[in-house]
Structure 1
Amino acid sequence: MNQMQPTALSPNPDTGEREFSVLDVLIVLAKYKKVIIWLPVIAAIVSAAISFVLPNVYKAGAKLLPPQQSQSGASALLSQLGGAAGALAGSAGLKNPNDLYIGMLKSRTVADKLIAKFDLQKVYDVETMEKTRSILEANTTIAAGKDGLISIEVEDENKKLVAQLANAYVSELVSLTKVLAVTEASQRRVFFERQLEQSKDNLAKAEMALKSALDTHGVISVDADSRAIVETVGRLRAQISAKDIQISAMQAFVTTNNPEYKRAQEELISLRAELSKLENGRPALAGDAALNPGKQVGLENIKILRDVKYYQMLYELLAKQYEAARLDEAKDSALIQVLDPAIDPERKFKPKRSVLILVSTILALIAAVAWAFMAETRKKILADTDGKAQWEQLKTLVRAK
């Protein structure tokens, strides 16, 4: 009933051939023991020699905390003023500040300044700036961690240079942030600075028109009702312009379905309707002016005063927002904090000689064992007539073109 099961060393009852066993493996290893022993030894000696020839590479790193985007008291005040400040303050939260500062650190501007400062083209012994930038980029690792910190790591054969380069990256970043508008406050400052310059030019043109009218007609006389209308119209037009600026800024980062955007649109429509109602409140003024040249001069006077009043109010509004943005920018400019400045490394970073020798020895051992089994297999194939014929056929096919 019970049949004997074939063992690793027993013949296979189906084929009549002995199965491959652990003993067969040991026999092959013993047969080629010289190759299996000496190849790893030679590999270890060669890798050790190479590792000692390779130059030592050192690494130094710095960690910094980038500015945190937050709304200051001046920003909150600007939001209440109804200008574009509130819109711009909200846009800053859509950007990852770490990505922004990492991009600045990796910029060509920073690289060129470091190359010039440390004469890296001579240090790396290359002829072109492009090649120097490539080597510097390959030797530098800049990344943001999950903790919100930005790490700057520099590798080089010069033990003193790595720490100096890492710290220089931080210094150049601080200098660059003082020039470029990268913070929310800086963006608002640049935005209102441009609007303020444009408003200033328009105000100057309106004042020139007023001066020309004075030279032509003498002192401009406007009745009390007309003056009140002029002031109201100027105020409404200034508010409409400010609201237009706010909506234009919001379109860059919100959709038309945004509640704040819809509310701003409704306020703009309301202001325009109020202005239209006020301007159309005295329809007979133009007709009377056509019949009476004196009234025509009065109408021109009202238009000139209205333009001057409008640009004055708009300029004052933008000036307040610009000054508030400057205050915020002054506070934000020093927010790049160095948590860990780079220091001179005490030990080399690479080559790791022990790891190199160990890996090369293991790979050589694997290669020697594989070669031993392939050599033994080839011997057995050539010992058999059919196997030898197949081997020759394989060689012919491989050599065939």
Structure 2
Amino acid sequence: MENKVMTQENDQDDEISLVDLLIVLARHKKLIFGLPLVFGILALVYGLVATPIFEAKTTILPPQQQQSSASAMLAQLGGLAGGAGAALGMKSPNDIYIAMMQSRRLEEKLLEQFKLQSVYEAKTKGDALLTLENNSKIVASKDGLISITVEDKDPKLAAAIANAYVVELRNLSKVLAVTEAAQRRQFFEAQIVTAKKDLAEAEVALKQLQEKTGVLQLNEQGKVAIEALASLRAKVSAKQVQLNAMRNFATENNPELQRAKAELDSLQTQLTDMSKGGEENEDVLIARSKAPGIGLDYIRRMRDVKYQETLFELMSKQYEIAKLDEAKDGANIQVLDSAIAPERKAKPKRAILILLALFAGFFLAILASFILEAFNKMGTNPEQKQRLDLLKNTWKGVA
């Protein structure tokens, strides 16, 4: 019974009540109130003497049709526009414009225009670029707008840099748009030369056969079958052209490239099935002709001509689209809000700075109070004092 009573007394001694905590804080009330006050005064002084930082912001609306313009190079090839356009950029147009503004090429233009290496007192161009990146914030909102925020101790310079981002983006967009269109024009220009040559050869071969054997009259069903087969063959060739073009900017793991390959496989399967039916139609036409051998040659020659005509027409359309794109100006980027020199500083924010300093000082004061209280108790407890002396002696011996 006595042991139980002693155990309860020991438990009560070990318990720490709220009153005990308040007593500890009351003993160190000067520290509790003094340290936050010191921190607050230091924060106020810093807020008064620190160099003010100003923030300028401009908002732009990039052209949302830019991605579809890039995919227009294959718009007439039967479902190719979506594949090529998406493969040109897996991200949204806004992400592309943000990446352009964060590119080294554009940032170096700003460095040269405003002599930022000297303004930032940077030792190297790389340090100046890093400072510019840290001072600039470019984000896209859900409503499709892009905001460009620049911080600097000079409010006029901050506004000028923010507006210069838009100017350089327009210049870079023009250069890249013309370059991409020129590459497409050159590509389809070469394809047209080949297609035109093949078409001329097919027409000559058909004409020579007609002059040699006479014109073979085909019924309407035969003409439709030949034209359908030639058209499908041209689509297969066009799809192969698309794949070759997409491989210039997409990997084999690109989903749009894989989709195009699946479409090519489907077209080739249709071509195989139609070719079998075409052979049956050819057999009927040949059997009705007076000279079966001549009929076979005539049908093949006519089919080659129809195929080359369809392919040449597809390539010509894409060539004209590329020429129009090459003649266009760069993207029409609209500015909703131009950056103006701010009148009020953005940093440092004195109120927030002082509140954070007061909170930090109060927290450290409480922590220091309990540490001091623990050391005081250790000094009055013989056993704890002996351990503390041992710690001091050990520390001195190590030192």
- Give the TM-score normalised by structure 2: 0.70
1:125 deviation in Å? 1.6
Q: Which residue of 2 aligns with 1:46?
A: 42
Compute the displacement of 1:198 (Å): 2.4
Equivalent residue runs for 1:346-365 within 5 Å: 346-365=343-362
Aligned-partner residue type, residue 132 of structure 2: L
Q: How far is 1:399 from its partner?
A: 5.6
**Consecutive unaligned residues in structure 1, runs of 5 or more:** 1-5, 210-219, 286-302
User: CA contact under 8 A between 1:75 and 1:86: conserved in structure 2?
Assistant: yes
Root-mean-square deviation over aligned CA pairs: 5.0
Partner of 1:264: 267
Partner of 2:187 in structure 1?
A: 195
Deviation of 1:348 after TM superposition, in Å, equals 0.5
**Secondary structure of the residue that 1:13 maps to in structure 2?**
helix
Deviates more, 1:88-97 or 1:170-179: 88-97
Match of 2:220 in 1: none
Counterparts of residues 144-293 of structure 1 (less than 5 Å): 144-181=140-177, 189-190=181-182, 192-199=184-191, 202=194, 224=211, 241-249=237-245, 253-255=256-258, 260-266=263-269
Q: Does 1:59 align with 2:55?
A: yes
Write the distance in 2 (CA, Å) between the matches of 1:239 and 1:21. 86
Q: CA deviation at 1:343?
A: 2.0
**Alpha carbons of 1:175 and 1:25: their partners in 2 closer, same or farther (altered >3 Å)?**
same
Alignment of 1:2-401 (within 5 A): 13-14=9-10, 17=13, 20-69=16-65, 79-80=75-76, 82=78, 85=81, 87-89=83-85, 91=87, 94-181=90-177, 189-190=181-182, 192-199=184-191, 202=194, 224=211, 241-249=237-245, 253-255=256-258, 260-266=263-269, 317-327=314-324, 333-396=330-393, 401=398
For residues 129-180 of structure 1, give each alpha carbon's deviation from its aligned partner in whole angstroms, at most 9, with x where no partner exists. 1111000001011122222222211111110111111111112112211121
- Structure number with the higher helix fraction is 2
Conserved in 2, the CA contact under 8 Å of 1:84 and 1:242?
Answer: no
Alpha-carbon spacing, 1:227–1:145, altered in 2? closer, same or farther (3 Å): farther
Separation (CA, whole Å) in 1 of partners of 2:193 and 2:115: 46
CA–CA distance in 2 between the matches of 1:87 and 1:22? 70
Aligned residue for 1:100, secondary structure, equals: helix
Matched residue of 1:350: which SS?
coil
Q: Deviations over 1:326-364 (max 9, x none)?
A: 446777944432222222212110001122122212222
Q: Deviations over 1:34-86 (max 9, x none)?
A: 33333222222222222222100011112222222489799889644559556
Structure 2 counterpart of 1:392, one-letter code: D
Q: Is the 8 A contact 1:75 1:325 kept in 2?
A: no
Specify whether residues 228 and 19 from structure 1 end up closer, same or farther in structure 2 by C-alpha distance, changes over 3 A only: same
Alpha-carbon separation, structure 2, partners of 1:400 and 1:330: 84
- Cα distance in 2 for partners of 1:272, 1:247 equals 23
Note closer, same or farther for the CA distance 1:93–1:176 as it changes in structure 2 (3 Å cut).
Answer: closer
Does the 8 A contact of 1:243 with 1:268 survive in 2?
Answer: no
Cα deviation digits, residues 255-309 of structure 1 (max 9, x gap): 26976444333356579999999xxx99999xxxxxxxxxxxxxxxxx9xxx999
Q: Distance in 1 between matches of 2:172 and 2:69?
A: 25
- For the residue of structure 2 that corresponds to 1:56, the secondary structure is coil
The separation in 1 between residues aligned to 2:69 and 2:34, in whole angstroms, is: 76
Which position in structure 1 is the counterpart of 2:297? Answer: none
**Inter-CA distance 399–228: structure 2 relative to 1 (3 Å threshold):** farther
Cα distance, 1:394 vs structure 2:
3.2
Deviation (angstroms), 1:107: 0.2
Amino acid of the structure 2 residue aligned with 1:368: A
Kindly indicate whether the alpha-carbon contact (under 8 Å) linking 2:54 and 2:151 is maintained by their aligned counterparts in 1: yes
Distance in 2 (CA, whole Å) between partners of 1:58 and 1:154 is 8
Gaps of 5+ in 2: 202-206, 217-225, 247-251, 281-285, 295-300
What CA distance in whole angstroms lies between the structure 2 residues aligned with 1:195 and 1:77?
11
Could you tell me how far apart the structure 1 residues matched to 2:32 and 2:40 are? 13
Paired amino acid for 1:38: G
Cα distance between partner residues in 2 of 1:73 and 1:17: 80
How many percent of aligned residue pairs carry the same amino acid?
40
Task: Give the Å deviation of 1:325.
Answer: 4.1
C-alpha distance in 2, partners of 1:249/1:170? 31
Q: Which has the larger displacement, 220-229 or 22-31?
A: 220-229
Partner SS, residue 388 of structure 1 = helix
Distance in 2 of aligned mates of 1:388 and 1:228:
122
Contact (CA 8 Å) 1:240, 1:271: kept in 2 or not? no
254-263 or 376-385, which deviates more: 254-263
1:194-245 deviation line (CA, Å, top 9, x unaligned) = 32342366589999x9xxxxxxxxxx9875368999xx99x88876643421
Cα distance change, pair 123–76 in 1 and its aligned pair in 2 (3 A): closer
Secondary structure, counterpart of 2:129 in structure 1: helix
